[in-house]
Structure 1
Amino acid sequence: MCWGRRKRPGRRCSIRPSDGAAPPLVTEYVLKVHNRCDLACDHCYVYEHADQSWRRKPRAIGGATVRWAARRIAEHAAAHGLGEIRVVLHGGEPLLLGAAGLREVLAVLRSRVDPVCRLDLRVHTNGVLLDETLCALFDEYAVRVGVSLDGDRAANDRHRRFADGRSSHPHVRRALELLRRREYRHLYAGLLCTVDPANDPIAVYEALLAESPPSLDLLLPHATWDHPPPRPGGGTPYADWLGRVHARWASDGRPVAIRLFDSMLSAAAGGPSLGESVGLDPVNLLVIETDGGWEQADSLKTAFDGAPETGLNVRTHAVDAVAALPGPAARRGGLAALCETCRSCEVVRVCGGGLYAHRFRTGSGFANPSVYCPDLKALAGRVVPAAEAAPAPGAGAAGRAAHTLSPADFDSLARGPGDPAAVAALAQAGLSLTRALVARVGSGLPDGAGELEEAAREGLALLARVDLERPAAVAEVLAHPCTAVWASRCLRPPRAARATLDLAHLAGIAASAALHAGMEAEVPLPVRDGSLHLPALGVLRLGPQAGRTVRVSVSSRGLFAAGRRVTGQDPRWLPVRSAGFGARTVLVDDLDAFRGRPGWRPAGRLSENRWEGWRTCLEAAGKRLEQDTPAYARALGAGLRAVVPLRPGPPRGHRAGGPRHPLGAVGLAPPGTGGLEAALLREFQFAKLDALTTLHGLVEVTSEAPARTLRETYARLAQAELWRVTPGADARTRFGRLSARIHEAIDALTASGTLTPHGARFVAGMRATAGAWAGN
């Protein structure tokens, strides 16, 4: 998903090729701190490929070189007003520098660059030497750790061994165990895996996923036309391998960000390509070697000896001088810099000609398609169609093909409860729709210079950054049902100042996502009714404020506002509470500014006594539903995320065709004012049916009365099941009354002539359930 806005003159939104007037900007640096390695990987481009310059360079970087490097990086960031740059410590194996040497490097970088801009520090390692001492050091200096792992032991040991042939796999797994520990989890950046068609793709995928990585990089092994990759059996083995992983990843619900797939999807949708492997975005990266030499990307070492070298050094040349050289400039040329074969290809905007180094051929240089061209084209054909089918905001029926239900899932919902897999599919479709709505809000932010407008724009930028690095954290916040309500409200006709305040809520969504991700960020939050709102997390009460926004900081250590950390004991902080509900917990949200729905009258913050009553009753209701209506309980467990307490009194009704219940939220009156279990079932049936209607129209759109009848009948189907299994004369009476009304409504719907084919099938499913009751 591309969160970005269309660029406006005078505002730097991103670094893209232009007419040549803009200065070349560098936003990422690879700093080689040690030039040897403790493994002997036979696919390593540094030691095993064409460039052998490592033999001529110092083993370890010197202190003076580090200081010059930090100076040049800070100069460039200050001169061009860059808000953030990334520095990756690399090698060889960077951990060979040792804790003391790494501390010196990190201290210099933090002291020189932090005062100028935000510094994203990382280290990429084979993991063999990672221990608690180094983890504590990286925690101290906020360094995120990426680790190379090629899959399970058999796959990893095919290439990644010690020089004496020993396996590196157990050493790497010990490192990953460290990074998964609670105190170091925020340091874990992800895994890098080099593809080998000889390995089982699903076994590799499952082994990587078992390490709980925040993200995965699947890399094609470096090769050129002079030294092409092995193709056992011919064809497109790399696309076939990656295609199998993609299919499994998609069927799993995309549990982790995989940069290659995300890059293709983003590039196809007109967004950033997220890296240099695919897409047409410029490469804004430079390498600093242990001798201080400026170099281009390391991947060029696979082309020929000396390919990445520039002849310039940090002691004598600033970043601008290096970035302006023909070599780096060629990698910022976009479509125009590609060969004719690539420029005329139908998938060029997705693959971007592939990695620059993979285009090399003696005699024609880099003016060639990628040596992986057939694989990239085949893989794009597998990955991108899902993106092309995704509905644009407001696309209507034509866009509904992006998410579909299998006939079995559809029928399970029609019969009443719905299988958990069917409910999960509805939730995934709802998340996709919410993402599209939020992106649409972001694309239409106003250009005003006020505090609220700036908060909205900074929130959008932060949300995009979190989504690139920790998409699961963004998904967690977007899946909160109130987010869809907020986005829909923003897209309705504006209401002057209140509309601008609503748009600025985007900053609160972004801050919540960053907190979930444990990422460091600063963002101004809008003050609404004297409080700062962080969706799904809580509200910070400030009281009367002169300003319209308050700048806050977030990190893995929590939220910081007004110069101090906000803790659970802070009397200003009101957290969103959660309650046990069967085998899971649900939020009880009495704080979100967008928790209202048509027909709902949300209550205010519950007192401690009232909250205790809610918590006790919800836990009891969950247990009763698990015992008496297990199928409905399982469906609730798969889709219910939040309960919104309502004020006493009857609901005001729901207009068919109006804003729908987002799946995942139910509104409930206070315990003691009616059957909580029956109310839960009723509201969740409404939410499921509304979500299903987004995918499949069930009633002709002009038929408001039948649509209302269908909703009420579907809700009664669940309530009748509850009373059917409840002992006692009163329950039997209730069941008989509801059963009769359901049969009457089903007959009326069938005879109405307003049902679509999907609607007719759905009503037939309800009839089958109601008919089965007669035989019991």
Structure 2
Amino acid sequence: MDRPLPALTQFVLKVHSRCDLACDHCYVYEHADTSWRGRPKAVPEAVLEQAADRIAEHARAHRLPTVHVVLHGGEPLLAGPGRLRKAAEELRRALRGVSALDLRIHTNGVLLNEQFCDLFVELGIKVGVSLDGDKASNDRHRRYADGRSSHPQVLRAVALLNQPRYRHLFAGLLCTIDVENDPVAVYDALVALDPPRLDFLLPHATWDAPPPRPDGSATPYADWLDIIYRRWDDAGRPVPVRIFDSVLRTLRGESSLTESLGLAPADLVVIETDGTFEQADSLKTAYDGAPVTGMDVFAHSLDEVLRHPGMLARQQGAEQLSQECRACPVVESCGGGLYAHRYRSGSGFDNPSVFCPDLMELIMNIRDREASAPARPADTGLSVHTGDLDELAAGFGGEETVGRLAAAQLEFNGDLLAAVLENAPRADRIAAQAGELLIELDAAAPDALDAVVAHPYLRPWALRILEGSAPATVVGGLAELAAAAALRARRGDTVVVPLREGMLRLPGLGSVSLTTCADHAEVTAGADGFSVRAAGRELWIGWDEGVDGLTPHWQPVRLVELPGWAVALEDTDPLRDSHQWPVAPRLSPGEAKMWAEDLTEAWSLIRRELPVYAPGVAAGLRAITPLHSPDGSDVSAASREAFGAVGAARPDSPDLLALLIVHEFQHVKLGAVLDSHDLYDPADTRTFYAPWRGDPRPLAGLIQGTYAHIAVTDFWRVRRHTAQGEAARTAEAQFARWRQQTSEAVEVLATSGVLTPLGERFVAGMASTAQGWSAEPVSADALSEARRAAESHRADWQARNVTP
């Protein structure tokens, strides 16, 4: 039977086919392939439109949650702001409602300026920069055609990306290895620039054109990288390094982070400026025409590209490796190396990598060092060196950064659960069995347990137990968690769970109403559902039942699945009442449908108009709890103790729901930061004016509100351009008001005198974002209206709170 084709998820879109540098190690212009000479310099708009449609067609057919696109060249900045905008807008148009878009650009950096960065902020484009280390190392290859150094211009570009208002754009630095360079000097120079990620690339070579090996060394590249690995490891691994992280991951049986290691099928295709589909650019180093598929965006689909023999050869894992590679003890990590590096005239790609000795030596060195190293403590906080804090301080936070926040919160919850287990009554049989099952599932089904431990309302329950305010709930709570984890694992375990006045709580899954006077129920998972037995009666519930409300005894948590984001409507958990507003009762099917429709439109708006917030929301916001607004006003809230959840009464429009989501998720992110870092002195008891509240706020409340209003300001900043008529005028006035008042609040924080050094850095990041908006033109009417609103609020506040 034919193997089903995997999907393509990564696309390199060439927007310009020439370069302003003349790097002598460039695989595009200096190696065997010369096809670039006959292609358009800048990609035509028709190619951009059709390429976007082809990518969306493929994403829709394969139901891809996320599509990754890199704008590339040549040097892509030579395409100019207009063409880059067109590329981004076409991709977002085509993928709207289909898949989330992870859009990046890779540049040599020499042309990067504030105009480009502002454009990338608007369009949500992350930026990777090529830099080979210190000046001497970089100048060995990366020079202009007339021999001038490019190093000062690249340093200026990196400094620009490190400004707080642009830091969230910075994707990392890419360094091509030259073993003639001092590895310590290269590594230290790159780490000093505080990149969010480093990528060391082996120079492209084949058996026909092997890489330089000075002094006849058999493994100079492994030796060079080993020096850096030891320095990186001894320093506590201050920045992710893709090649090292990939080796470590594959040694643990996980997937690689790069196509040059591991056995995962290739999932990348290149779209050239003339619209032709090509295989990976690295093949240009093999022979003239090696990447060619003979297909293009106008005449062929991406599924047709996948069936090209060259693409098929890179889909077969270990099967497509040479016999020597298949017998190698490190093949699971090495994967035969980069496909292009295996080429030899006469035998094609049926060879080990030309870097085979280096790859084996590197992998074995790392394996041996890991085996002899003491166990590492779990990383439960943000690493300031990775730039996470700067990215968050600017008001943003992408998928990886928020993912690390979520991982840290999972660790916190796990520690709290362990503490609760320690405090559980040891003589209680139900508590003991639940504890044993939780420990067993931690080893046998860790993903199932993690899903339950990450439930936003675990932490409030655990804290109340540990504070002594709810000791009676410890046994039932542990049993409920064990039952929910067992159901997710679907192993057939039976768990005895105390009932809550006839209601069985299954955190994160839903609740079962039982018309019985029993105190306990037995819960058992099966392949198609689960059974609940109580008072001699058994109830069978299918996994897919109850969402439509036709099974009144079973109230499952409804999951709204959107492109790139799945979020639960949490209206079943009795412990969800952790917000300042009362929770709404269980939604009727009609109400749930309206929530889902509004969330669909709100998420589309966020992805389209606020793309810099979307990846973080998707990575960290797992539940929305419907709230009840007593007076019908728009209310929303986030609880410091419930990471991953926000509460809201459904507003009148999806636009306002989008605003509530990005606003409240700011609180969620900042709460997680404050769990790991002290930003201010908590002993300070002063209160301050906040232009969004009617009461004086302590510094903790002021920093939370100010951080949230970074997103509020940004929302109105964008909406004034995308709304129409009166809505646009209202948005402009709102932008003018919150721009001014958020800046003033940031100034109050900066001059409060109670920030820690880390807090000063964080507030400086907020200030940089706010200041970046100060020069944006606003009409005189909007400024006047904003001034009146600010003065009115201040006067009302003083009348209520200032004693004569």
TM-score (norm 2): 0.56
Partner AA of 1:236 in structure 2: T
Q: Deviations over 1:165-224 (max 9, x none)?
A: 111111111111111111111111111110111111111111111121111111000000
What CA distance in whole angstroms lies between the structure 1 residues aligned with 2:29 and 2:666?
57
| Pairing 1:275-674 to 2, within 5 Å after superposition | 275-386=258-369, 389=371, 403=374, 428-431=376-379, 466=399, 473=405, 476-477=408-409, 481-486=412-417, 492-493=436-437, 495=478, 497-499=480-482, 523-524=567-568, 529=574, 531=576, 543-546=583-586, 557=613, 562=648, 563-566=657-660, 576=671
Structure 1: which amino acid aligns with 2:332?
Answer: R
- Does residue 1:49 correspond to 2:43, yes or no? no
Aligned to 2:91: 109
Are 1:579 and 1:586, in contact at CA under 8 Å, matched by a contact in 2? no
Tell me: CA distance 1:118–1:344, structure 2 relative to 1, closer, same or farther (3 Å).
same
Cα displacement string for residues 393-421 of structure 1 (whole angstroms, at most 9, x for unaligned residues):
xxxxxxxx7526xxxxxxxxxxxxxxxxx
Distance (Å, rounded) in 2 between the aligned partners of 1:316 and 1:432: 50
- Paired position in structure 2 for 1:691: none
- The one-letter amino acid of 1:281's match is A
Superposition map of 1:146-157 within 5 A: 146-157=128-139
Counterpart secondary structure, 1:164:
coil
Residue 23 of structure 1 corresponds to: 5
Residue 129 and residue 487 in structure 1: after superposition, are their counterparts in 2 closer, same or farther (change >3 A)? farther
Deviations 1:533-552 (A, max 9, x none): 8xxxxx78662442699999
Match of 1:710 in 2: none
In the alignment, is the contact (CA less than 8 A) between 2:250 and 2:262 conserved in 1? yes
Q: Is the 8 A contact 2:381 2:408 kept in 1?
A: no
Instruction: Summarize deviations over 1:97-125 as a string: whole Å, max 9, x none.
Output: 00111111111111111321111111111
Query: Do the aligned residues in 1 keep the contact of 2:105 with 2:127 (CA within 8 Å)?
Result: yes
Tell me if the contact between 1:360 and 1:368 (Cα under 8 Å) persists in the aligned partners.
yes
Q: Number of residue pairs matched?
A: 495
How big is each residue's C-alpha offset from its partner over 1:451-472, in whole Å with a ceiling of 9 and x where there is no partner? xxxxxxxxxxxxxx956x8876
* 1:99 maps to 2:139: no
Which residue of structure 2 lines up, in the alignment, with residue 409 of structure 1? none
Assess, with a 3 A threshold, how the Cα gap between structure 1 residues 545 and 148 changes in structure 2: closer, same or farther. Answer: farther
What is the SS of the residue equivalent to 1:429? coil
Aligned to 1:179: 161
Amino acid at match of 1:226: D
Query: Which residue identity lines up with residue 429 of structure 1 in the other structure?
Result: P
In the aligned structure 2, how far is the partner of 1:540 from the partner of 1:356? Answer: 57
- Offset of residue 83 of structure 1: 1.0
Shift in CA distance, 245/340, structure 1 to aligned 2, threshold 3 Å? same
Kept in 1, the 8 Å contact 2:129–2:172? The answer is yes
Partner of 1:166: 148
Partner residue, 1:61: 43
Q: 1:493 is paired with a residue of what secondary structure?
A: helix
Question: 1:499 Cα deviation (Å)?
Answer: 3.7
Relative to 1, partners in 2 of residues 1:579 and 1:68: Cα closer, same or farther, differing over 3 Å?
closer
Letter of the structure 1 residue corresponding to residue 374 of structure 2:
H
- Paired with 2:176 and 2:260, the residues of 1 have a C-alpha distance of 13
Q: Hey, what's the Cα distance between the residues in 2 that align with 1:546 and 1:224?
A: 64
Q: Does 1:80 align with 2:44?
A: no
Q: Distance in 2 between matches of 1:205 and 1:610?
A: 40
Contact 1:531 1:541 in 2 (8 A): no
Q: Is the 8 A contact 2:103 2:126 kept in 1?
A: yes
Q: In structure 1, the residue corresponding to 2:178 is in which secondary structure?
A: coil
Are the aligned partners of 2:321 and 2:336 in contact in 1 as well (CA < 8 Å)? yes
Q: Could you give the per-residue CA deviations for residues 303-325 of structure 1, whole angstroms, max 9, x where no partner exists?
A: 00000011111100000001111
Task: Give the Cα–Cα distance (whole angstroms) in 2 for the partners of residues 319 and 486 of structure 1.
Answer: 47
Instruction: Supply the distance in 2 between the matched residues of 1:90 and 1:482 (Cα, whole angstroms).
Output: 42
Counterpart of 1:193 in 2: which secondary structure?
A: strand
How big is the shift at 1:91? 0.4
Counterpart contact for 1:266–1:273, Cα < 8 Å: yes
Is the Cα–Cα contact under 8 Å of residues 17 and 74 in structure 2 kept in the other structure?
Answer: yes
Cα 1:202–1:81, aligned 2, differ >3 Å: closer, same or farther?
Answer: same
- Evaluate the alpha carbon distance shift between residue 524 and residue 255 of structure 1 in structure 2; reply closer, same or farther with a 3 A threshold: farther
Q: Contact 1:294–1:310 (CA<8 Å) still a contact in 2?
A: yes
Matched residue type, 1:215: R
Residue 513 (structure 2) aligns with: none
Compute the displacement of 1:23 (Å): 2.7
Secondary structure of residue in 2 paired with 1:273: coil
Residues 568 and 315 (structure 1), Cα distance of their counterparts in 2 relative to 1, 3 Å cut:
closer
Q: Which moved more, 1:130-139 or 1:549-558?
A: 549-558
The percent of aligned pairs where both chains have the same amino acid is: 47
What amino acid is aligned across from residue 70 of structure 2 in structure 1?
A: V
What secondary structure, in the 3-state scheme, does the structure 2 residue paired with 1:257 have? coil
Task: Determine the C-alpha separation between the residues in 1 that align with 2:287 and 2:577.
Answer: 56
TM score, norm. by length of structure 1: 0.58
**Whole-angstrom distance in 2 between the partners of 1:531 and 1:37:** 56
Residue by residue over 1:682-727, the C-alpha shift from the partner in whole angstroms, topping out at 9 and shown as x without a partner, is xxxxxxxxxxxxxxxxxxxxxxxxxxxxxxxxxxxxxxxxxxxxxx
